[in-house]
Amino acid sequence: MNKIRCIGILTSGGDAPGMNAAIRAVTRSAIYNGMKVKGIYRGYKGLITGEIEEFQTQHVSNIIQRGGTILKTARCMEFKTPEGRKLAYDRLVEEGIDALITIGGDGTLTGARLFAQEFNIPIIGLPGTIDNDLYGTDLTIGYDTALNTIMECVDKIRDTATSHDRLFFIEVMGRDAGFLAMNGAIASGAEAAIIPEISLAEEQLSDMIENGFRKSKNSSIVLVAESEVTGGAMGVAERVKNEYPQFDVRVSILGHLQRGGSPSAQDRILATRMGIATVEALLEDQRNVMIGIQNDQIVYVPISKAIKNDKPINQDLLHTLRISSI
């Protein structure tokens, strides 16, 4: 007999479109299976301060189409300390919560793993991050929507680039991973992507300029991942201005635009499937795993693996971009 009677759910770290769809699916799946659900507001911070409310099915009505997270999110330095995690655990015991579902990215799962190690509580992680950088899953919740947002923004910028014969460097999110920049460049027909996985050597830049911006192209667009490795769009643009003064260079930083908006159909379906899978994982006595998707099948990935291993970029995509942008 499964001893889990009450599930706590929280969102943490950067918000991602589809988090609400996941909250809805977890809540309804738990109720369907005869469990109580408690929503924890403001992530690990709310777990410590006790911002906790029991959820009924109506709490998650009409939220599947909303971006952001109804449970709010916050950074929490206190949870990074053993004392803070002890306070959080005491709160779980007080609230009668037997298992925890955490929705977020690398930092969220790192906190979850520590928490699970110190206190014997089953935790299931959901990969909610627009960066798509968690190992063990083909897709993360929010990635598809962010990609579509980038594509729409680049399409608009291209109108200006073409009208003025300009070279635009467009900065997208992805501090440690180039998935948004790479696939965003392919989807929007950009000339190149500068990503942290391939540090930009001098000859790479000159190669890109000389091959990508030949006389046959008056305007060009390059997507740059915001990263110390790439130097960001400002850093790259500065170098191009110095080394190739003949180009009319402009920079556009998309910033938080990429996080917002109504989730795409793909993100709503993914979040719903994954949310239901969290409760099924608990019913199967799984613990300390992240729900992933591989080849369109739900999989359980040990949280330690999801955060320790780097997710490799598909080299075929680089090849695809190189060929399609000549």
Cα angle for residues 182, 188, 191 (degrees, 5° grid):
65
Nearest to 4 by CA among 275, 271, 287, 289: 287
Known catalytic membership, residue 165: no
Nearest to 243 by CA among 271, 205, 270: 205
How far apart (Å, rounded) are the C-alpha atoms in residues 130 and 143? 4
Which residue is catalytic, options 131, 133, 144, 267?
131
- What angle do helix axes 143-164 and 265-283 make, rounded to 10 degrees? 160
Residues with catalytic function: 131
